[in-house]
Amino acid sequence: MTYETLTVDIDSDGIALVTIDLPGQSMNVWNEGLMADFPKFVDELIANDDIKGAVITSGKKSGFLAGADLNMLGSSKAETMKEAFEQAWGLNAILRKMETGGNSAKDLLKGKAHAKPVACAINGLALGGGLELALACHYRVCADHPKLQLGLPEVQVGLLPGGGGTQRLPRLAGLQAAGMAIMMGQPMNPQAALAQKIVDEVAPAEDVVAKAKEWVKANPKASAPWDKKGWKFPGGAGSMDPRAVPLYLGSSAMALKQSKGNYEAVKAILSCLYEGSMLPIDTALKVESKYFTKLLSGPQAKNMIRTLFVNKQAADKGAMRPEGVPPTELKTVGVLGAGLMGSGITHVTAKGGMNVIVLDRNMEEAQKAIDYSQKIVDKGVKRGKMTQEKADAFMARITPTDNYDDLKNVDLIIEAVFERPDVKADVIKKTEAVIGKDVVFASNTSTLPITGLAKNSERPDQFIGMHFFSPVEKMPLLEIIPGAETGDKALAVALDYNAKIRKTPIVVKDVRGFYTNRVFPPYANEATMMVAEGVNPALIENAAISMGMPIGPLAIVDETTLQLGYDIMTSTKEEMGDAYVPSGTEDLMELMVKKIDRRGRRFGGGFYEYADDGSKKLWPGLKEHFPLAEDQPTVEEVKQRLMYIQLIATAQCFDEGVVSDPQSADLGAIFGWGFAPWTGGPMSHIDTIGVDNFVRTADMLAQKYGERFKPPMSFREKADAGESFYKAA
């Protein structure tokens, strides 16, 4: 028998070494090819008397098997749920057949039949369907590499491990450990997996195949533990088990606490664990496949896979990079300014393996970038995440200076000085005087238009905007803003740099606030306006959190400070004059900032008051200034307002071309301001709601709350045409 995606070598002991090696792919995954080959191999294993047992391994240096090909999952042609189930059942059926050798559970249990032994030699990362394949083998030997990842991360894209993961993992590791691993989706290393009995043996990488063969040779008759008589669920299971019942109760509560009930996958995983743990394995696997089918046929998994996996990966790999520009080698980056942003940029640049020359007006200021990184690096060493040696090398890459001449050999400049055009103009001139003629100058700004700043540059085609988010080392998004004269090369360099610091980049148009700062303020305003209307502030915050925002909008306003909001409001008013459209929050801002000194957390308090222990609670005085209205809206009404204000602002940006494609809008929303990830982003969410339904609801809200909810014309047209923004999957 020959296969496309794997090779089978039978040794003198009759042990078949199955080496999975997908042609033309850097990584093994369950794709259509492997899905076609593997059942054939299982049949050969069962039927061929020359084969006494098998060892499964990978031919890839990159790992064992990284899961299912998400593009394949997304392209299911099933028309009915039943058909979709038959497809979902495919992988479970093959793996179970391998595990039982095609025998019935009853015969295995009675000892009347056995499967041929199959061991797994895990020689690299095994995630999702990769780990599930391993779990379906009778024995697992894993290479002893501390960074090797074993895990079931499906939940992160809105799915559950549908190849037996929700059933075999708890049957090996117990409900509690398995539940945590599957619901969080976090990988573990081989030693942790060994401790939880998820792998049976850990060995040096070069020995895993030999060890696996040894086991196969010594165990000619195999069956899974759960197919053996007397097997008991480790740690207990079942609705009458006093150890398991608190686990079922507790895990649901914990999952609700974390997911707010927004993630279908989390719920489905809990049900697989709950229901599956009370069933014999064959029925349990079917139940798992049914829940998997439900997830796969719903919008959430499609949205999450598309945005959080497919589009994110494409963006991270530089999908927006102009063609034909050769890659730039970035060895040394000059960072101008060692304030909060400059220090953060310095840190991520050094972390990306580049040297940094960080400049500020004197050495004392420049040194702040060193202190900033030192603190983070020291913490890493203390927690055992970094060796002292690596920490020292890290710090050695950063050179503080107050002398522009030191910048003359840099490959890229990132400017992060004070957000004032005159200050920026000064450093642009001083820097361009020393750097190479072809060095790209990137300006980090969250508000100033790039085209305007580029006017200070001798080489506006090499001038570009980069909007980093604070804290830089934690925030995953980078907004890249080409100005009117920015050339392809500058954009290419910006994306090459981004690839090194491993952020998710979106390329946006040069308008005030760019993309994220166009959408977020209206959202914060809406929450503020509700306070002014007398809506219970706790209801506002809880509504936002329960719809999947990471923290309440009033809490964020406190962090960014009401003072900043007030300053922006004042300058916008001045700038726009008669054209200024009041946001409705002017009186509240005036009161909070000017009259009662509630300017935000940094100033001692705003909407919240802050205790010394770091805890916070809504400022009781708020109710005196903004008495609660007698009729409070329902939480659904508050959620709708807070959701739609973001959807509308995104729609406007899309309409105006601030973001050129729905993918960027979705990525920017989720990774920029923490827009509810379960939606796949605002554009995905509009598609899910249905564009016509979205327009109708927005009109209704506009009538109720004001013109700001009016959807843009192009969305009405889209609705009328019955189209969606993404092509139907």
Partner 1 sequence: MTEAYIYDAVRSPRGKGRSDGSLHEITALDLASQVLASVNDRNELDGHEVEDIAYGCVSPVGEQGAVISRMAALKAGYADTTSAIQVNRFCGSGLEAVNIAAGKVKSGEADLAVGGGVESMSRIPMGSDGLGGMADPTLVFQEYFVPQGISADLIATKYGYSRDDVDAYAVESQKRAGKSWEEKRFEKSILPIKDVIGETVLDHDELMRPETDMQSLGSLNPAFQMMGEQMPGFNDVAILKHPDVEKMNHVHHAGNSSGIVDGAAAVLIGNEEAGTKYGLKPRARIVSMASIGSEPTIMLTGPEFAAQKALKRAGMEASDIDVWELNEAFAAVVLRFMEAMNVDHSDINVNGGAIAMGHPLGATGAMILGTVLDELERSNKQTALSTLCIGGGMGIATIIERVN
Q: Which residue matches tokens 């980090």?
A: 444
**How far apart are the two ends of the chain, measured CA to CA in Å?**
36
Measure the CA–CA gap between 192 and 357, rounded to whole angstroms.
40
Angle at the Cα of 510 from the Cα atoms of 504 and 516, rounded to 5 degrees: 45
> Does 250 help bind partner 1 (rule: CB under 8 A)?
yes
Using DSSP bridges, classify how beta strands 118-122 and 53-58 pair: parallel, antiparallel or unpaired: parallel
> Does 546 help bind partner 1 (rule: CB under 8 A)?
yes
Cβ of residue 708: shortest distance to partner 1, in angstroms? 24
Calculate the CA dihedral of residues 447, 452, 455, 461 and round it to 10 degrees: 80
> Does 252 help bind partner 1 (rule: CB under 8 A)?
yes
Binding segment for partner 1 (CB under 8 A), chosen from 334-342, 354-362, 481-489, 531-539, is: 531-539
Residues in region 578-597 near partner 1 by CB under 8 A: none
- Please select the residue that binds partner 1; options are 31, 409, 446, 542, rule is CB under 8 A: 542
> Does 538 help bind partner 1 (rule: CB under 8 A)?
yes
Cβ of residue 535: shortest distance to partner 1, in angstroms? 10
Cβ of residue 251: shortest distance to partner 1, in angstroms? 7
Residues in region 618-657 near partner 1 by CB under 8 A: 618, 632, 635, 638
- Please select the residue that binds partner 1; options are 274, 607, 673, 726, rule is CB under 8 A: 274
Cβ of residue 650: shortest distance to partner 1, in angstroms? 25
> Does 251 help bind partner 1 (rule: CB under 8 A)?
yes
Task: Please answer whether residues 238 and 244 qualify as being in contact, where contact means their C-beta atoms are separated by less than 8 angstroms.
Answer: yes
List all residues 6 or more positions away from 703 whose beta carbon is below 8 Å from its beta carbon: none
Q: Report residue 567 as tokens.
A: 């300053």
Report the SS3 class of residue 225: helix
- Please select the residue that binds partner 1; options are 99, 432, 526, 541, rule is CB under 8 A: 541
* Residue 479 vs 609, nearer CB to partner 1: 609
Cβ of residue 167: shortest distance to partner 1, in angstroms? 16
Cβ of residue 256: shortest distance to partner 1, in angstroms? 5
Size of the site for partner 1 (CB under 8 A): 35
Measure the CA–CA gap between 347 and 334, rounded to whole angstroms.
12
* Residue 251 vs 293, nearer CB to partner 1: 251
Task: Please answer whether residues 586 and 607 qualify as being in contact, where contact means their C-beta atoms are separated by less than 8 angstroms.
Answer: no
Cβ of residue 155: shortest distance to partner 1, in angstroms? 14
Measure the CA–CA gap between 29 and 133, rounded to whole angstroms.
11
- Other CB atoms within 10 Å distance of the CB of residue 325: 16
Q: Report residue 416 as tokens.
A: 């992060």
> Does 283 help bind partner 1 (rule: CB under 8 A)?
no
* Residue 240 vs 579, nearer CB to partner 1: 240
Binding segment for partner 1 (CB under 8 A), chosen from 240-248, 553-561, 593-601, 648-656, is: 240-248
Binding segment for partner 1 (CB under 8 A), chosen from 242-250, 355-363, 476-484, 660-668, is: 242-250
* Residue 425 vs 628, nearer CB to partner 1: 628
Residues in region 254-273 near partner 1 by CB under 8 A: 254-257, 260-261, 267, 270-271
Measure the CA–CA gap between 522 and 708, rounded to whole angstroms.
9
Cβ of residue 18: shortest distance to partner 1, in angstroms? 37
* Residue 154 vs 496, nearer CB to partner 1: 154
Using DSSP bridges, classify how beta strands 477-482 and 463-468 pair: parallel, antiparallel or unpaired: antiparallel
Q: Report residue 290 as tokens.
A: 């049914």
Measure the CA–CA gap between 465 and 407, rounded to whole angstroms.
19
Residues in region 372-431 near partner 1 by CB under 8 A: none
Cβ of residue 622: shortest distance to partner 1, in angstroms? 11
Cβ of residue 73: shortest distance to partner 1, in angstroms? 23
* Residue 259 vs 355, nearer CB to partner 1: 259
* Residue 278 vs 376, nearer CB to partner 1: 278
Q: Report residue 361 as tokens.
A: 């007006």
* Residue 257 vs 383, nearer CB to partner 1: 257
Can you list the alpha helix ranges (DSSP code H) found in 68-156?
70-74, 81-100, 105-109, 129-136
> Does 511 help bind partner 1 (rule: CB under 8 A)?
no
Cβ of residue 239: shortest distance to partner 1, in angstroms? 4
* Residue 272 vs 442, nearer CB to partner 1: 272
Task: Please answer whether residues 114 and 90 qualify as being in contact, where contact means their C-beta atoms are separated by less than 8 angstroms.
Answer: no
Report the SS3 class of residue 598: coil
Measure the CA–CA gap between 588 and 603, rounded to whole angstroms.
17
Residue 458 dihedral angles phi and psi, to the nearest 5°: -75, -25
Considering only the C-alpha atoms of the chain, give the largest distance between any 2 of them, rounded to a whole number of Å.
Answer: 89
Can you list the alpha helix ranges (DSSP code H) found in 327-448?
340-351, 363-382, 388-396, 421-432
Measure the CA–CA gap between 589 and 560, rounded to whole angstroms.
14
Cβ of residue 261: shortest distance to partner 1, in angstroms? 5
- Footprint of partner 1 (CB under 8 A): 238-242, 245, 248-257, 260-261, 267, 270-271, 274, 536-539, 541-543, 546, 617-618, 632, 635, 638
